[in-house]
Structure 1
Amino acid sequence: ENGAVQCGYCTPGMIMSAKALLLKNPNPTEEEIREAIAGNICRCTGYNNIVKAIKSVSNNNDVGIEGI
């Protein structure tokens, strides 16, 4: 939906980081998202689409943290 996944190299780490962030803060700012995923290396997307994807599920009752 947000084009956040390409080669899959960073996907597991991004998902774990996103889930940990959203458990602590269900509605993070873009800066907080970027800080949370800072330890993950993505060689494909440049992080913008990953940040958009995390933001799109934050505070979204239709998806919820279980949807990640």
Structure 2
Amino acid sequence: KENPNPTEDEIRDYIRGNICRCTGYIQIIKAIEECASKAKTN
């Protein structure tokens, strides 16, 4: 709600410290970007 179109850097900042960094967040970031994109079109 605060930022409906976050950049990848903003997403990384939001989730930093909340999830294990061992995977690099790649799949999680892609999922968040996809959801944000879909929310924009609805």
Partners of 1:53 and 1:42 lie apart in 2 by: 16
Spell out structure 1 runs of 4+ moving beyond 6 A.
none
Query: Which fold has the larger relative contact order, with Cα–Cα distance below 8 Å and residues 6 or more apart in sequence?
Result: 2
TM-score by length of 1: 0.49
Give the % identical residues.
57
Aligned runs of 1:21-40 on 2, under 5 Å? Answer: 23-40=1-18
Query: When the two structures are aligned, how many residues end up with a matched partner?
Result: 41
Q: Which runs of 5+ in 2 are unaligned?
A: none
Q: Which runs of 5+ in 1 are unaligned?
A: 1-22
TM-score by length of 2: 0.73
